[in-house]
Amino acid sequence: MDVLENYTPFEKAKKMLSIQIAGEIVLSNDPGVVIQKWRSIFKIPQRKLAQELNIMPSVISDYESGRRKSPGVKFIKKLVTAMLEIDERRGGEIIKEYSSLFPEEKISDVILSMKEFEKPIPLKEFAKVIDGEIVVGEDIEKYIFGYTIIDSVRAIIELSPAELVKMYGLTTERALIFTNISHGRSPFIAIKVTNLRPGVVVFHEIDDLDNIGRRIAEVEKIPVIISKIKDVEVMIKRLKTLD
């Protein structure tokens, strides 16, 4: 058995990430969708991944579309290893993002709920689930790969920039849902100090986005949704339907 305590943070993140990806593929009722999700997170074209595995691109395409049966354990291991090695050669951006996810008490108090989706969700569909109105970026066509619900006041006051990065989970293409806010500008403070841009920002408990918040969102090209759901627990239950 590997002793993870003896690994560097990067090696530990790589190992834990490989276990998570392989587990998701094995346990999924639609493994092709999970493969496509992770390939998208790593930003690896089918042809590039196929080249790494020394197979035809059509093999990857067939698995992702469901035309081929579920891949075997040996293939899954090779697939996961290939994605991680490609990322490592690029500088390990995704692996490094994962390395920031190891739990800390302070982070768990600020992040109310966090999840990665098994398959990407269209932005407009995501908005409907949380009873939301897209107030910035109405015409943007994009997909959301997960969400994080954040107590915005505590995040801004208590967390360092390095800790704020942990809001993004495994990918920035997610919804950052901010609660406990009085206007639309404060969450963008937390976003700007990380130098990362989420797929969409969701405001909870406000009726409208103020002019400064709207201007920041437009300049940064970040879609904004205002959710009409008043109870955070209700929102979490709604989001669980996207599993």
Q: What is the pLDDT of residue 194?
A: 76
Q: Which amino acid makes up residue 177? A: I
Q: Which pLDDT value is given to residue 121?
A: 92
pLDDT of residue 3: 43
**Domain-wise residue ranges, the chain:** 4-98, 103-240
pLDDT of residue 182: 67
Taking each helix axis from N to C end, the angle separating 211-220 and 186-194, rounded to the nearest 10 degrees, works out to 30
The reported pLDDT for the residue numbered 166 is: 75
Tell me what pLDDT residue 101 has.
57
Rounding to the nearest 10 degrees, give the CA dihedral for residues 21, 25, 31, 35. Answer: 20
Name, in order, each residue with C-beta under 8 angstroms of 82's C-beta and a sequence gap of 6 or more.
Answer: 49, 52, 53
Residues paired with 118 in a beta bridge? none
CA distances to 4, 5, 13, 100, 152 from 9, in Å: 9, 9, 6, 9, 28
Quick one: pLDDT at residue 103? 46
pLDDT value at position 140? 80
Query: Class of 4-98 per CATH?
Result: mainly alpha
Nearest to residue 100, comparing CAs of 176, 11, 168? 168
- What integer pLDDT is reported at residue 104 of this predicted model? 46
- How confident is the model at residue 1, as a pLDDT? 34
This prediction has a pTM of: 0.63
Q: What is the topology classification, in CATH, of domain 103-240?
A: 3.40.1390
Q: Do 4-98 and 103-240 share a fold?
A: no
Going residue by residue through the chain (243 aa), what tens digit of pLDDT does each one get?
344 456 677 887 888 788 888 888 887 888 999 999 999 999 999 999 999 999 999 999 999 999 998 888 889 999 999 999 999 999 998 888 776 655 444 456 788 888 888 888 999 999 999 999 999 988 888 899 999 998 887 777 777 776 777 788 778 889 999 988 766 667 777 787 777 889 999 998 787 888 888 888 888 889 999 999 989 889 989 988 886
